[in-house]
Structure 1
């Protein structure tokens, strides 16, 4: 019989592993790790070390996803996938994504030699954030066979997704083999909340009911460059002021429509000199809502507003869709089991929406999916001060192990 886990030690090792991984970065002093960047090799090596201690085989697929597999004694058993992502936004914190992968290994350690009626595959996705190529979820899309559509995308240096895979030492021709063809029982993702809701409610954990839908668009205003000192205000065709008007329109709409969030995270103005009227401005527009009809209506309103602004200011307006991701409800059966596990461990709480996108939102369209949120102290994420409370992480691991046992009982009853 497997001994009870030493939860304090296992929690400490899990948090320490997250911090060790955080040290592998493209920018010294900051945490920045994009799709198949050189530091990812050290991340894979660190995960390999833990997996080897558990006698688990590991491999990288052609999209750069890291896999560790625990086989059931039943060869025909179904597979539970546990995962999250290993990439980060620029100047990130150490736990977003990483905690879910590390927790997967911690749960396998907690299981010890306990037999299960299903296989477990822990996956560290190569890309979720969309930083390098402007399109997210390359990793999880590889698992469901749709990443091939993204191979021609290029980064700021002109390197394509296909080239990045090759330069990392992987074979892009093997990408179809990255698709998981197991009989998948479901997908489970443990993730920091990335917001203040749990902390405001004095809660450590909560199951997720659904992941909101997202629209990501690249928007461009074009005008005419001219001298800043000699061009009267009435004769200007300033692309940057047009873009600013759309940004304020997006904020106004989102403030007045419950549940809607709209964000412009950056501006690129050309030619980019202080004494030249901007001729061209591009900006990413991010729109999210749990109801896809509301999200798409808001998207239409803002694009129509962009056209009106351009017409009023003598500009041209163009836009290109970078992501149109529908809202994803989590699986009722798996979420019900997760709710039972939370109750059993003294953390019962109603499910909550996720306003952030996750790999579960991609995989949940293909396989049953469940998510467990862990409190983000201060509500911080995508920030270097992102942190975790050890007690919350221990609680999450305890709930995760209970969930695995409940799932085993369900599979046994299924026969």
Structure 2
């Protein structure tokens, strides 16, 4: 039986499949490293008693039948891709916990009133092609054909990368599942924050996942010699600096997160006033209307700043995702799992500012999430750290959450419900 120590060993084994040297981790979609970790995940799924397959989007999947073949499935999953110079637990821990839970239930001999499936998604981070959640969006049936032309840093298109990986872009629709095939989705993930660590808690229940909007903002002025008098300056960097501080102020006042993570200035010379500045904005919030009102105020304020300074402003939205709220009955199951695993009697509920595959799957079925403490809340960094004790209690809680859901269903009733759903296909 797979233990918490085994799961941590597997995290280390997966970390060795990287495109970066010196022990750093980077594993991107449709790469040789992606193929290697899919093969390992398939091996572990098979050993756990699951039937396995790689779907048309490159996600590695497994299935354990329920009391009778063909029942709708409870899907467990997370992702195996990483950001550059990543840690070894973001996404990966959730996949390995899901496989271990499936193994436990397969060996228990208890017939479940639903099937159990595991999905190891191939792309959540969007590192290679700049569009996040490609694996889970394909499974959710929300794939957009306009993505096929997206290029990676080497000029390779997503279409070409699919073919090189051995996939057929024309078959992408075969990865899509339908609502009648699933009863819900549960994901375990490290908390990408320090709420649990600060509180001394191993686990928490996720209430919702932030809706995000991303923008590319350009401010243009005039590039002039650094000796130009103040009255004649149209300094794009000074204007951008004022706008960025306004973004911070507006986001804080609205209880949102606003991040400027990329900034470039031109011509980027020590003795030249910057004539053009480009920067990104990632704006996240629990409620979409609140986030959208903040963006409208940011845009209005930025325009006023630029007008006062004689600058021009343009902005383009590059990404948009609605907030995803976890369903009450799946939240209750996760909370029950934490209590039964020896956690607190009233488990802590957290809001996730970070995005997850659950956001994409929310378009398909109900979602729920279990957060696992991460030391200091450090994520997307080699210092990402979890303890064996926390992984052990997370494994117990995740299994108990699945069994709590099973207790809500009767196999015969599920058969009838499945037949009714199938008639609607």
Please report how far the alpha carbon of residue 185 of structure 1 lies from its aligned counterpart in structure 2 after TM superposition.
0.7
Structure 1, unaligned runs of 5 or more: none
Separation of aligned partners in 1, 2:242 and 2:223: 18
Q: Deviations over 1:49-94 (max 9, x none)?
A: 2123234333222322121222235123111111111121221111
What are the equivalent positions in structure 2 for 1:19-168 lying under 5 Å apart? 19-29=12-22, 30-113=24-107, 114=109, 115-149=111-145, 150-168=147-165
Separation of aligned partners in 2, 1:314 and 1:38: 50
What are the equivalent positions in structure 2 for 1:341-356 lying under 5 Å apart? 341-347=337-343, 348=345, 349-356=347-354
Separation of aligned partners in 2, 1:279 and 1:60: 50
Separation of aligned partners in 2, 1:245 and 1:162: 41
Separation of aligned partners in 1, 2:268 and 2:54: 42
Separation of aligned partners in 1, 2:50 and 2:294: 48
Separation of aligned partners in 2, 1:406 and 1:368: 16
Q: Deviations over 1:267-318 (max 9, x none)?
A: 1223334444333322220111112221111111111222223223333211
Higher mean alpha-carbon deviation, 148-157 vs 199-208, is at 148-157
1:317 to 1:158, Cα distance in 2 relative to 1, 3 A: farther
In structure 2, what is the equivalent of residue 204 of structure 1?
A: 202
Separation of aligned partners in 2, 1:163 and 1:315: 41
In structure 2, what is the equivalent of residue 171 of structure 1?
A: 168
- Kept after mapping to 2: 8 A contact 1:71/1:119: yes
Aligned to 2:234, what secondary structure does the other structure show? coil
Higher mean alpha-carbon deviation, 405-414 vs 79-88, is at 405-414
Separation of aligned partners in 2, 1:107 and 1:359: 19
Q: Deviations over 1:134-173 (max 9, x none)?
A: 3211111101212224323333333332232223221111
- Kept after mapping to 1: 8 A contact 2:80/2:92: yes
What are the equivalent positions in structure 2 for 1:327-366 lying under 5 Å apart? 327-347=323-343, 348=345, 349-366=347-364
Separation of aligned partners in 2, 1:22 and 1:107: 21
What are the equivalent positions in structure 2 for 1:267-306 lying under 5 Å apart? 267-306=263-302
1:358 to 1:227, Cα distance in 2 relative to 1, 3 A: same
1:203 to 1:251, Cα distance in 2 relative to 1, 3 A: same
Separation of aligned partners in 1, 2:171 and 2:367: 26
Aligned to 2:74, what secondary structure does the other structure show? strand
Higher mean alpha-carbon deviation, 381-390 vs 261-270, is at 261-270
Separation of aligned partners in 1, 2:230 and 2:15: 49
In structure 1, what is the equivalent of residue 422 of structure 2?
A: none
In structure 2, what is the equivalent of residue 381 of structure 1?
A: 379
1:310 to 1:169, Cα distance in 2 relative to 1, 3 A: farther
In structure 2, what is the equivalent of residue 320 of structure 1?
A: 316
- Kept after mapping to 1: 8 A contact 2:204/2:371: yes
1:241 to 1:24, Cα distance in 2 relative to 1, 3 A: farther
Please report how far the alpha carbon of residue 205 of structure 1 lies from its aligned counterpart in structure 2 after TM superposition.
0.5
- Kept after mapping to 2: 8 A contact 1:62/1:165: no
Aligned to 2:410, what secondary structure does the other structure show? helix
What are the equivalent positions in structure 2 for 1:175-186 lying under 5 Å apart? 175-181=172-178, 183-186=181-184
- Kept after mapping to 2: 8 A contact 1:139/1:147: no
Higher mean alpha-carbon deviation, 165-174 vs 52-61, is at 52-61
1:165 to 1:277, Cα distance in 2 relative to 1, 3 A: farther
Aligned to 1:285, what secondary structure does the other structure show? strand
In structure 1, what is the equivalent of residue 419 of structure 2?
A: none
Structure 2, unaligned runs of 5 or more: 415-425
- Kept after mapping to 1: 8 A contact 2:140/2:177: yes
1:305 to 1:161, Cα distance in 2 relative to 1, 3 A: farther
- Kept after mapping to 1: 8 A contact 2:330/2:367: yes
What are the equivalent positions in structure 2 for 1:261-272 lying under 5 Å apart? 261-272=257-268
1:49 to 1:273, Cα distance in 2 relative to 1, 3 A: farther
1:400 to 1:157, Cα distance in 2 relative to 1, 3 A: same
In structure 1, what is the equivalent of residue 369 of structure 2?
A: 371
> How does the TM-score come out when normalised to structure 1?
0.92
- Kept after mapping to 1: 8 A contact 2:42/2:61: no
1:241 aligns with 2:234: no
Q: Deviations over 1:353-387 (max 9, x none)?
A: 11111111221232011100001111111111000
Separation of aligned partners in 2, 1:409 and 1:55: 22
Higher mean alpha-carbon deviation, 281-290 vs 382-391, is at 281-290
Aligned to 2:3, what secondary structure does the other structure show? helix
Separation of aligned partners in 2, 1:56 and 1:116: 14
- RMSD across aligned positions (CA): 2.0
